Amino acid sequence: MSALLERIAAIVGPQALLTADADTAPYAIDWRRRYRGRPLAVVRPASTAEVAAVVRLCAETRTPVVPQGGNTGLVGGATPDASGREVVVSLARMNRIRAIDRENDALTAEAGCTLAAVQAAAREAGRLFPLSLASEGSCQIGGNLSSNAGGTAVLRYGNARELTLGLEVVLPDGAVWDGLRALRKDNTGYDLKQLFLGAEGTLGIITAAVLELFPLPAGRATAIAALDTPAQAVELLGLMKARCGERLTAFELFSDYALALVLKHFPGSAAPFTARHPQYALVELEDTQSEEAARGLAEAALAEALQCGVVRDAVLAASEAQSRALWSLRENMSEAQAAEGKNIKHDVSVPTSRIAAFVAATDAALARAFPGVRMVTFGHLGDGNLHYNAAAPEGVDPERWMANQAAVNRIVHDSVAAFGGSISAEHGLGQAKREEILRYKSPVEMDLMRRVKAALDPLGIMNPGKVI
């Protein structure tokens, strides 16, 4: 064992230092199995003090550090490179809920807590932590904050950035910034936590956070509506906002082809309607008074939409089990795509008012360039975020189809830019879009980002090769 690894072992204990290939393999590949690296070692610290000591040692020896949470990211942001020089710092052992303040609606959690564990702790205290993702059983809150995760409830509650009151961060030199303040107002200079939220571990390692909680809903209503076009979905969204106000928590859109993949690869799934329709909107309302109030609002709004011809048909879940079944259709789409074979994925955002035009224009451009291309479109329409994925034409091998990735990306991302959007809505840049972003951010923006990186991480050891 090298002198560096011996010193790390002395900090965290020999059992918390992994060096054998068999032990480090799960940490060396991303969730999509698209990026594979070879770390020098994987370190599993149990406290902020241990993280700080490890990072301080890595700074002293100029050893690159790759922070890693639940390793559920989709852009290779937590994957080491193949140099064999990088140390992966896994936060999985730092999984304590440090404090819950019910009166202040705040919860302090360590970075290694799974999102599901944070949700459960809030629920036990009679509160709601609204961040919700399909991977919530395995993704960790530190990774959620480092990637500014979005999920299904952004429409009402905002991204991870809006749900964070304070942070504790180990900086690239090993210093610890204690910003664990549970304040809604603190006008004393720069809001430093915003530097680390969405930075993908390139400026420091988030080790703990103060998260904002909300009243636990007394009831919810889940419904699915059948539509002809994305334009009708945008119209329905406007109607639901006007009639339901802040109770509208989620508004998801997905195409019939996306639904067909779930029905194919998850045999226990059931189609929500006897007939098939081009598009579907999954809608959820939450109410702090009663389930009857939520259901009444949903029923009235959907009845109006049907009367106006905005939707073809609608179904309101009659039980929690039916609600879960409807949500499973949406949540299983990523895995259904993976089971079908590789496809070219995009996580984009466009102003909601321009979603329909974007989809129409980009679908047409891709069809001209690649006749027969099949679009797997789904996402969080309520906040303008689409997972706009292009699958191979029927009969074309998915592996061969991936050779078109650069050309497909160019068409999609140029269209996103033309419609005033972003090429990464919630997944981040990681390795996947590090070069691509240079086409769409201005030189001034990129220069500002590089200056921030240089100021906080002058040695360039913190998650190198990611974001910028």
CA-CA-CA-CA torsion sign (368, 374, 379, 382): positive
- For residue 90, what are the CA distances in angstroms to 72, 84, 124, 143, 352? 13, 17, 27, 11, 37
- Pair of tokens at residue 169: 């961060």
Amino acid at 205: I
* Confidence at residue 367, expressed as pLDDT on a 0 to 100 scale: 98
According to CATH, the topology of domain 219-334 is Alpha-Beta Plaits (3.30.70)
According to CATH, the topology of domain 97-215 is 3.30.465
Strand 385-391 relative to strand 248-255: parallel, antiparallel, unpaired?
A: unpaired
Distance in angstroms (rounded) separating the CA atoms of residues 467 and 208: 22
Q: State the Cα angle at 388 between 333 and 436, rounded to 5°.
A: 125
Q: Is 77 exposed, middle or buried (0-12, 13-18, 19+ CB in 10 A)?
A: buried
Structural contact between residues 379 and 252, judged by C-beta atoms closer than 8 angstroms? yes
- Pair of tokens at residue 355: 């979603």
Distance in angstroms (rounded) separating the CA atoms of residues 122 and 215: 10
**What does the pLDDT look like over 73-94, one tens digit per residue?**
999 999 999 999 999 999 999 9
Residues 6+ apart with CB under 8 A from 267: none
For 171, other C-beta atoms within 10 Å of its C-beta total: 19
| 3-class state of residue 364 by DSSP | helix
* Confidence at residue 134, expressed as pLDDT on a 0 to 100 scale: 85
Q: Do 97-215 and 341-424 have matching folds?
A: no
- Shortest CA distance to 462 belongs to which of 46, 78, 112? 78
**What does the pLDDT look like over 173-186, one tens digit per residue?**
999 999 999 999 99
* C-alpha atoms less than 13 angstroms from C-alpha of 12 in its C-beta half-sphere: 30
- Shortest CA distance to 287 belongs to which of 216, 219, 223? 219
Query: What CATH number does the domain located at 341-424 have?
Result: 3.30.70.2740
- For residue 224, what are the CA distances in angstroms to 237, 266, 271, 333, 352? 12, 19, 11, 16, 19
Domain coordinates in residue numbering, the chain: 97-215, 219-334, 341-424
Edge-to-edge strand ranges of the sheet holding 176-179: 97-101, 106-110, 205-212, 164-170, 176-179
Mean pLDDT by 10 residues, the chain (468 residues): 91 97 96 93 98 98 98 95 97 98 98 98 97 93 97 94 98 98 96 97 98 96 97 97 96 96 95 96 95 94 96 96 96 92 94 96 98 95 94 94 97 98 95 95 97 98 97
Looking at 158-201, which runs of residues are DSSP E strands?
A: 164-170, 176-179
Tokens 């030199």 sit at which residue?
Answer: 173
* Confidence at residue 338, expressed as pLDDT on a 0 to 100 scale: 87
User: pTM here?
Assistant: 0.94
* Confidence at residue 379, expressed as pLDDT on a 0 to 100 scale: 92
Please give the full DSSP string across 55-95, using - where no structure is assigned.
HHHHHHHT--EEEESSS--SSSTT---SSS-PEEEE-TT--
Distance in angstroms (rounded) separating the CA atoms of residues 324 and 329: 9
In 97-177, alpha helices (H): 115-124, 141-146, 154-157
| 3-class state of residue 348 by DSSP | strand
Strand 127-128 relative to strand 41-43: parallel, antiparallel, unpaired?
A: unpaired
Residues 6+ apart with CB under 8 A from 379: 252, 253, 254, 385, 386, 387, 388
